[in-house]
Every structure is written in structure tokens, then in C-alpha cells.
């Protein structure tokens, strides 16, 4: 019966684990819905600020903002790595960090220096173990992205590009496709490409460039600096929102898989327990019958 007792203890342990994973699955599902709503609500603002930036950037061709000018050569690269603060979300963090590592190795092989900004505890720990130069960081964002927490680390990276500390700014994050699928992506933030700054008619199609004439107050440089800075901040905020929605979706799927696996383990252990109990009963009956026959 000692074997049966051990099996019963294992079954209870797995049942307790399944209760935890089931609760985490339900919590992640609730957070996922809210995260998806925030992500969708942020998209109209990003689209509007993109159109405004496109109009103003084209309206004054004699002034070219540093964010719009391609560098002759790229010797230093600034990267922003967006990850989750916590684990238990499948391969979400691993996939985006693997993409970042491959890019860093490629840039270093080409002789380019890399400086990093970490958004999320998992990315910060990875970059520190890698020995990368982390110049800014944000952790403990919680379940809701807050621009007030992001603005400090983002400003360090934008100032680094403006002061020629690095020649290109790139962001790594997980793009939300649907509840079951998320993919790690790398996007160039600075310099802004023509594909980034284009006028949209609201249906996803670019409209032909028109003749725009603005009166700038105080001047074109100040206005463009404010608008393009807000645009970059909106892109980073959107990336963080996408990553949070992806995190909750991946955690929900991972916890559901864990709960299903725990159920399978319980079924297997229950079958083993029943076989062990039946063998024990059969052995006892055989001993009784044998004893009665001997008498």
C-alpha cells in the first residue's frame, strides 16, 4: 500500500497544480481582453499623428529634421528591446530575445557598436548576461502601459540619436496577430523611412502627395521636433501595447496547455493507482484462498 499512498500524494499534488494553472489561465484571459482593447484604442491616435507628421514634413522641404535624414554610414546602433516582466508565457520572451541576439551578433560582426534600452525585466536580465551596454531601462510596467514611465528611457534613446551617439535606432517587440499567434519583429524607428512617413486616407492606402503650406509658430524646426518626437513616442507606446497583449495571450495559451497536461497526468496516475490497488486486492484474496486451502 506504500506505493498506492505515494501515487495518491502525486495525484493530489498535480490536482493542486492544475487549480493554480487554471486560475492563471482565467486571469490571463481577462487581462488579455483589456490589453487588446487598449492596443486597438491606441491605433487611431498613432494613425492620426502619422498623417500630421507626414503633412508637416512635406510642407517645408528646405528644412530637414534629423529624424528624416539618412546617415552616410552606420557605426553605432541603438536598440530598444521590449519584453515582459514575468515569465510563464511560453516562448514569447525567448523568441524576441533570440531575434535580438542574432541582430546584435550580425552588427558586431560588421564592426558596429550596440547600445541598448531594456523595457521589461526579462530583456534587462538577458542584456546584462550578454554583457551589452544598457544605457536606459524600464521595469515594473504592470498590466497597463504608462507613457510617464516610458518617457525617461525613450528620451535617452532619442537624445542619443540627435547627438550622434548612434546612427540608427531599432526596436524589438512581439507583434500581436491573434490570440493563438504572435511573432517577434524588428522595426527601424530612426531615421524615419519614406514608408513610415506617408499620408493615409484612412483606408490603409496612401494618398498622393499634395501641396501643403503651413505658417509655423515659432518656427519649422520647433514644430517638426515636437511632432516627430510625439510620433516616435506613439510608435514605442504602440509596440509596448502590442507586446503586453501578446504576453497575456501567450500566457493564457501556456496555462491552458499546462492545465490540459495536468489532466492527462492525473488520468495516467489514476489508472496506475487503480492497477496497483487491484493488484494488492488480488494478492490479499490469493493469500486468503491459499490459507483456507491449506487448512
Instruction: Tell me whether domains 2-18+254-294 and 27-252 share a fold.
Output: no
Site of grid cell 486597438 = 40
CATH of span 2-18+254-294: 1.10.287
Task: Tabulate helix, strand, coil % of the chain (nearest 5).
Answer: 60, 15, 25
Please name the helix (run of DSSP H) or strand (run of DSSP E) that holds residue 189, with its range, or none. Answer: strand 181-190
The pTM (predicted TM-score) of the whole model is 0.84
pLDDT (tens digit per residue) in 34-77 = 888 888 888 788 778 877 777 776 676 677 788 888 888 889 99
**Predicted confidence (pLDDT) per residue in 72-113, tens digit:** 888 999 999 999 999 889 899 999 999 999 999 999 999 999
For the domain with range 27-252, which CATH number is right: 1.10.3720.10, 3.40.1380.10, 3.30.565.10, 3.40.50.920?
3.40.1380.10
Listed by start position, the domains of the chain span: 2-18+254-294, 27-252
| Cα–Cα dist 169/104, whole Å | 13
Amino acid at each position: 500500500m506504500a506505493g498506492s499512498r505515494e501515487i495518491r500524494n502525486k495525484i493530489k499534488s498535480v490536482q493542486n497544480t492544475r487549480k493554480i494553472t487554471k486560475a492563471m489561465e482565467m486571469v490571463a484571459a481577462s487581462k488579455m481582453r483589456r490589453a487588446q482593447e487598449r492596443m486597438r484604442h491606441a491605433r487611431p491616435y498613432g494613425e492620426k499623428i502619422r498623417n500630421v507628421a507626414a503633412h508637416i514634413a512635406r510642407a517645408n522641404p528646405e528644412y530637414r529634421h534629423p529624424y528624416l535624414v539618412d546617415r552616410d554610414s552606420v557605426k553605432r546602433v541603438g536598440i530598444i528591446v521590449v519584453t515582459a516582466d514575468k515569465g510563464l508565457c511560453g516562448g514569447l520572451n525567448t523568441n524576441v530575445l533570440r531575434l535580438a541576439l542574432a541582430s546584435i551578433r550580425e552588427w558586431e560582426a560588421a564592426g558596429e557598436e550596440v547600445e541598448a534600452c531594456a523595457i521589461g525585466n526579462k530583456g534587462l536580465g538577458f542584456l546584462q548576461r550578454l554583457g551589452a551596454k544598457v544605457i536606459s531601462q524600464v521595469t515594473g510596467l504592470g498590466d497597463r502601459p504608462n507613457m510617464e514611465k516610458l518617457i525617461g528611457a525613450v528620451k535617452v534613446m532619442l537624445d542619443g540619436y540627435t547627438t550622434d551617439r548612434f546612427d540608427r535606432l531599432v526596436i524589438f517587440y512581439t507583434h500581436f496577430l491573434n490570440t493563438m499567434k504572435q511573432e517577434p519583429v524588428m522595426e527601424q524607428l530612426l531615421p524615419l523611412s519614406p514608408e513610415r512617413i506617408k499620408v493615409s486616407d484612412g483606408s490603409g492606402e496612401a494618398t498622393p502627395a499634395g501641396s501643403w503650406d503651413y505658417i509655423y509658430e515659432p518656427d519649422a524646426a520647433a514644430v517638426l521636433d515636437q511632432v516627430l518626437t510625439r510620433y516616435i513616442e506613439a510608435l514605442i507606446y504602440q509596440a509596448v501595447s502590442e507586446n503586453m497583449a501578446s504576453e497575456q495571450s501567450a500566457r493564457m495559451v501556456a496555462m491552458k496547455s499546462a492545465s490540459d497536461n495536468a489532466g492527462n497526468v492525473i488520468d495516467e496516475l489514476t489508472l496506475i493507482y487503480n492497477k496497483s490497488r487491484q493488484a494488492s486486492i488480488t494478492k490479499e484474496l490469493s493469500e486468503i484462498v491459499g490459507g483456507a486451502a491449506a487448512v
